[in-house]
C-alpha cells in the first residue's frame, strides 16, 4: 500500500513537471520566439521583484505576462475542468462514452453565443465578459431544463435522455440561425468559437473558471468515495445507505457547471473530456480519489499542448483547438478501444 501510494505521488509530481514544461513551451512559442529560460525569468521577476536582473525588453515582458501566460493558464484550467468533469460523468452514469457535454451544455452555450453575435442581443453590454457570460448562461439553460423535466421521473436515465434531446434542439437552433439569419462575417466568428480556442483569454476571464474548478473540483474529490460505491450498482449502493438518485443528480449538476465554466471561455472543445479519463484510468486505475486528480493534470497537459499546436500548425491563421483535439484524440480513442476489446477476447 505504501509503495502504491508513493508511486501515485511520484506520478502526480511527474505530471506537474510535465505541465510546467508544456506551459513554458506554450509561452515561448509564437510569432516572437522567447527562450524558455527568459519566460520563467520574467514570471519569476513578476512574482518576486528583484530576484532577477532584467535583461529582456518591456515588449517581451508584455507578451509573456499580458498575452501568452494567461492563455496557457486558461488552457490548463479548461483542460483540467473538462477531464475531471468527464471522469465524473463516466463514473456516475457507468457509461464509458459519457462526456462533460452530456446534458447539452455545449449546445446551449453555443446558442447563446449565436444570439449575442448574430442578433446582437446584449452585444458589448459587459465588455470582454459579454461572450463568456452569455455562454455560461446558455450552458445552464439545458441543464436546468433537463433537471426540471427529467427529474420528474424515477429512472436516472431520464435526465440524461432529456439533456441529449435538448442538446439536439439547441444544435438545430444554432444551425438555423447561421443558415437563415447570419451573414458571412458572423458565421466565421461563431464557427471559430464553436470549434474552441483561447484567442480571447485574459487574466480577467481566467478568474471564473479557476474558482469553479477549485470549488467544484474539491467537492467532487470529497465525494469520490460515493462514486466508487456507485460502481457496485444502484441496488448495492442503496443497500450501503446511499441516496443514489440524489447523488447522481448532484454529480451531473457539478459536471455541467464545471463544463459550462470551461465552455464559457474556450468554446466547445471535444475529446478531452471523453478521452483523458480513459487514459488516466489506464494509468492509475478507476478509484475516483486517484482518477480525478490524475485526469485533471493529464487534461491540463493535453489542452496546453493542443493549444500550442493550434498556434503553430499554420503560420497564416490559427487553427481552432477543437480541430486539433479531434484529429489527435479520435485515433487514440479508437486504438484504446481496440486494445481493450482485444484483451477481453483473449
**What string of pLDDT tens digits covers the 346 residues of the chain?**
555 778 889 999 999 999 999 999 999 987 788 888 888 888 888 888 777 777 778 888 888 888 899 999 999 999 999 999 999 999 888 888 888 888 889 899 989 888 888 877 666 666 667 888 888 998 899 888 888 888 777 676 788 888 889 989 999 998 888 888 877 777 777 787 888 888 888 898 899 999 999 999 999 999 999 998 888 887 888 887 888 888 888 898 899 999 999 998 998 898 899 899 999 998 998 899 999 999 999 999 999 999 999 888 776 677 889 889 888 888 887 887 777 677 666 6
* pLDDT of the residue at 148: 85
Q: Provide DSSP, 95-109.
A: -TT--TTTTSHHHHH
Give the total residue count for the chain.
346
* Per-residue pLDDT tens over the stretch 14-40: 999 999 999 999 999 877 888 888 888
Rounded CA separation 301/235 (Å):
38
Q: Which of 100, 90, 103, 25 is nearest to 64 (CA)?
A: 25
Q: Which residues contact 297 (CB under 8 A, 6 or more apart)?
A: 12, 15, 16, 18, 19, 80
Q: Which of 292, 300, 293, 251 is nearest to 272 (CA)?
A: 300
Rounded CA separation 170/109 (Å):
9
- State the pTM of this model: 0.90
Question: Residue 267 in contact with residue 194, Cβ under 8 Å?
Answer: yes
Question: Residue 285 in contact with residue 91, Cβ under 8 Å?
Answer: no
What domains are there in the chain, each with its CATH number?
Answer: 2-345 (1.10.3470.10)
Half-sphere exposure of residue 94: CA atoms within 13 angstroms, side-chain side: 11
The Cα-based distances of 239 to 26, 154, 226, 236, 242 in angstroms read 49, 17, 13, 5, 7
Other Cβ atoms within 10 Å of 26 Cβ, number: 26
Our separate counts of H helices and E strands in the chain read 15, 0
Displacement of CA 246 from its chain's centroid (Å): 24
State which H helix or E strand residue 284 sits in. Answer: helix 272-284
* pLDDT of the residue at 1: 58
Strands (E) located in 101-237? none
Q: Provide DSSP, 82-142.
A: HHHHHHHHHHHHT-TT--TTTTSHHHHHHHHHHIIIII-TTTTTTGGGHHHHHHHHHHHHH
Amino acid at each position: 500500500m505504501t509503495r502504491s501510494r508513493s508511486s501515485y505521488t511520484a506520478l502526480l509530481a511527474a505530471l506537474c513537471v510535465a505541465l510546467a514544461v508544456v506551459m513554458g513551451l506554450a509561452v515561448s512559442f509564437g510569432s516572437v520566439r522567447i527562450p524558455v529560460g527568459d519566460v520563467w525569468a520574467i514570471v519569476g521577476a513578476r512574482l518576486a521583484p528583484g530576484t532577477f536582473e532584467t535583461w529582456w525588453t518591456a515588449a517581451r515582458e508584455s507578451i509573456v505576462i499580458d498575452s501568452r501566460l494567461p492563455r496557457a493558464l486558461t488552457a490548463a484550467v479548461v483542460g483540467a475542468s473538462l477531464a475531471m468533469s468527464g471522469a465524473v460523468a463516466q463514473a456516475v452514469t457507468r457509461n464509458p462514452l459519457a462526456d462533460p457535454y452530456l446534458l447539452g451544455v455545449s449546445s446551449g452555450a453555443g446558442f447563446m453565443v449565436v444570439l449575442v453575435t448574430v442578433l446582437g442581443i446584449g452585444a458589448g453590454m459587459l465588455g470582454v465578459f459579454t461572450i463568456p457570460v452569455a455562454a455560461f448562461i446558455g450552458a445552464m439553460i439545458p441543464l436546468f431544463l433537463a433537471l426540471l423535466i427529467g427529474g420528474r421521473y424515477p429512472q436516472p436515465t431520464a435526465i440524461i435522455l432529456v439533456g441529449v434531446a435538448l442538446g439536439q434542439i439547441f444544435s438545430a437552433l444554432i444551425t438555423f440561425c447561421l443558415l437563415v439569419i447570419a451573414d458571412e462575417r458572423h458565421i466565421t466568428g461563431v464557427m471559430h468559437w464553436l470549434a474552441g480556442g483561447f484567442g480571447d483569454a485574459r487574466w480577467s476571464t481566467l478568474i471564473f473558471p479557476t474558482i469553479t474548478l477549485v470549488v467544484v473540483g474539491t467537492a467532487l474529490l470529497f465525494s469520490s468515495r460515493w462514486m466508487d460505491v456507485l460502481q457496485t450498482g444502484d441496488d448495492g449502493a442503496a443497500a450501503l445507505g446511499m441516496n443514489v438518485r440524489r447523488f447522481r443528480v448532484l454529480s451531473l449538476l457539478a459536471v455541467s457547471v464545471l463544463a459550462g465554466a470551461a465552455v464559457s471561455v474556450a468554446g466547445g472543445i471535444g475529446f478531452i473530456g471523453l478521452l483523458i479519463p480513459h487514459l488516466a484510468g489506464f494509468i492509475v486505475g478507476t478509484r475516483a480519489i486517484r482518477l480525478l486528480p490524475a485526469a485533471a493534470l493529464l487534461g491540463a497537459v493535453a489542452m496546453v499542448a493542443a493549444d500550442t499546436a493550434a498556434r503553430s500548425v499554420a503560420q497564416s491563421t490559427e487553427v481552432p483547438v477543437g480541430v486539433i483535439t479531434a484529429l489527435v484524440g479520435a485515433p487514440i480513442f479508437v486504438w484504446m478501444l481496440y486494445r481493450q476489446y482485444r484483451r477481453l477476447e483473449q
